[in-house]
Amino acid sequence: MAFESFAELLAMGGHGAYVWSAYGVALGILIWNIYMPLRVRRQFLRQQARLARRGGEMQ
Amino acid sequence: MNENGTGGSLLRAMYAQFRRDLLMAYRHPQDVLNPIAFLVMVITLFPLAVTPEASRLAEIAPGVVWVAALLATLLSLDSLFRSDAEDGALELFLLSPHSLFFLCLARAGSHWVTVALPLAICAPLLGYLLSLSPHAMWVMFLALLVGTPLLSLVGAIGAALLAGVQRGGVLLFLLILPLFVPVLVFGAGAVMAAQQALPYVGHLALLGSMLALALALAPFAISASLRVALS
Amino acid sequence: MWKWLHKLGSPPWFYRISGRWLPWLAVASAALLLVGIGWGLLIAPPDYQQGHTVRIMYIHVPAAILAQSAYLMLAGAGLVVLVWPVRLADLFAEACAPVGASMTVLALATGSIWGKPTWGTYWEWDARLTSVLILLFLYIGVIALRAAIREAEAAARACAILAVVGVVNIPIIKYSVEWWNTLHQPASFRVTEKPTMPAEMWLPLLPCVLGLYLFFFTVVLMRTRNNVLRRDRRKSWAQNEIHRLNASGETEHGV
């Protein structure tokens, strides 16, 4: 272990803000990457369900 | 059309294409003059925006003139294929029995002669307004002479990709500007080297080798893009 | 080999098999990333010069590697689109571009955050950061071009050409930017590539890089599957699948 306590881990030797904001950005971008395809899929399926209820695709 | 072998008729087809483009430019001089007017105006903005002080202007001059010339070339490229796509001339271009590679080369060549070459001649003279030294102006001209055909060739790829898109405009800049980075680096680099009395031939040689590469490869990309645009 | 390629090019087969791989990929990537980043943040020793800020490396370096290899994959898929009529290659390329762009943004963001404590500024015109920025511009071009062309087939081929042209230019751009950089500033402090980095410091990078690669493939597969379903939505296998998914109530979850 490189750290003695949890507080030291948070502080990162005085550079905590930089290290943790970098990982925060990373987490945000990873979550965006997971969320986007799920949202597209859900919207697509909803749209197809609506079309099916109206009796087949119109186009 | 093919009566005396493909070699001779190919050259003739290239010549015909080239001549037609020159004729079009002659009939629509706006296409040639507008980029030059744009160049003059952009370069005038810098002393107003930065400083009229000669020494500081000379420092930024190589970059400013290069960026302005590059943007002027790109502006003129936007319409390179679009009007031909709209009036059906492009369809004939694709239907021609001749190698599309060479016809695209001729098209890029005519663009260079009508638009980019006048820019390459005017831009160093405009450098005078930014207190560029005569030696630097001469090197600027040489660098533009090697660099602008590169801009015409690479830019034509973007213009061909967007030939079928109604509103190209900003999109062409997005596609092509990153590809112009090496030309800008070595082109402006040559002028800056000349300003500091350093050897500049290396930069020109690098620009020349990039031009050779572009001459060999870009027409493939242009013709493939035109086929897609009209499919 | 060819038969396998042909099968991989068939959308229903791909959809079925990728659905089976997806959970495993996701689990493996999450496990590797947790191990690698946990190792990097908690156990790896601090750098003797940079202290604990060096821990940003464990996300920055994998993101930078992926940013570049995603563009290579995009161009590779583009080449396939131009040479063989494999529809799947384009659906893959369409999925690659935004994910690769997000990795480029991640590499830029973590790089500039790392720059503040080491260089004293968030943005330094360093050769590496600059060429990654231009890589982002290349991604933006491909994404914008796809958005601009209505017809799917034409968009696929146009994006493929642009990606291949871009990949030919990448080495030239990189070289010119490096040259420009050495001209304008004396070699500044390099963040990565320190030959003396001890093994305890670079070892955690391995699971991080591998984990982010698997993460990339997980989300790209998710997007590719969406694209396959969308493009084949009028075919019977896709209709059945859409019907099955809607019946199983997948749309009821979430927002």
The pLDDT score that the predictor gives to residue B231 is 76
B118-132, C3-17, C31-45, C212-226: which range is least confident on average? Answer: C3-17
The whole model's pTM is what?
Answer: 0.89
User: Residue B65 and residue B45: Cα distance in Å, rounded?
Assistant: 11
Residue range C23-42: average pLDDT? 94
Spell out which residues of chain B touch residue C154, defining contact as CB-CB under 8 Å. Answer: 164, 228-229, 231
Chains C and B touch (3+ CB pairs under 8 A): yes
Q: Which of C41, C42, C226 sits opposite A44 (nearest CB)?
A: C226
C51 vs A13: CB contact, 8 Å cut-off? Answer: yes
Comparison of pLDDT for C181 and C41, the residue scoring more: C41
A18 vs C42: CB contact, 8 Å cut-off? Answer: no
Residues paired with C47 in a beta bridge: C51
The pLDDT score that the predictor gives to residue B214 is 94
The pLDDT score that the predictor gives to residue B4 is 46
- Its sign, for the CA torsion C75, C78, C80, C82, is negative
C5 pLDDT exceeds 80? no
The pLDDT score that the predictor gives to residue C255 is 35
The pLDDT score that the predictor gives to residue C9 is 66
User: Residue A53 and residue C24: Cα distance in Å, rounded?
Assistant: 35
Residues B72-87 as b/e (b if ≥16 CB within 10 A, e otherwise) read: bbbbbbbebbbebbee
The pLDDT score that the predictor gives to residue B44 is 92
Closest listed residue to residue C208, CA positions, set A26, A1, A31: A26
3-state helix, strand, coil in chain A (%, to 5): 80, 0, 20
User: Residue B16 and residue B106: Cα distance in Å, rounded?
Assistant: 9
Residue range C106-135: average pLDDT? 89
User: Residue C129 and residue C112: Cα distance in Å, rounded?
Assistant: 8
Chains sharing 3 or more CB pairs under 8 A with chain B: C
Q: In chain B, which stretches have pLDDT less than 70?
A: 1-7
Picking from A10, A30, A38, A59 by the largest number of C CB atoms within 10 A of its own CB, the best residue to mutate is: A30
A43 pLDDT exceeds 70? yes
Tell which A residues from 1 to 59 touch C, by Cβ distance under 8 Å.
1-3, 9, 12-15, 18-19, 21-23, 25-26, 29-30, 32-34, 36-42, 44-46, 48-49, 52, 57
Give the count of beta carbons closer than 10 Å to the beta carbon of residue B209.
12
Q: Which two tokens stand for residue C178?
A: 């490096």
Average pLDDT, rounded, for chain C: 87
Contact A33, C102 (CB under 8 A): yes
Contact B40, B128 (CB under 8 A): no
Give the count of beta carbons closer than 10 Å to the beta carbon of residue C21.
12
Percentage of chain A exceeding pLDDT 70 = 92
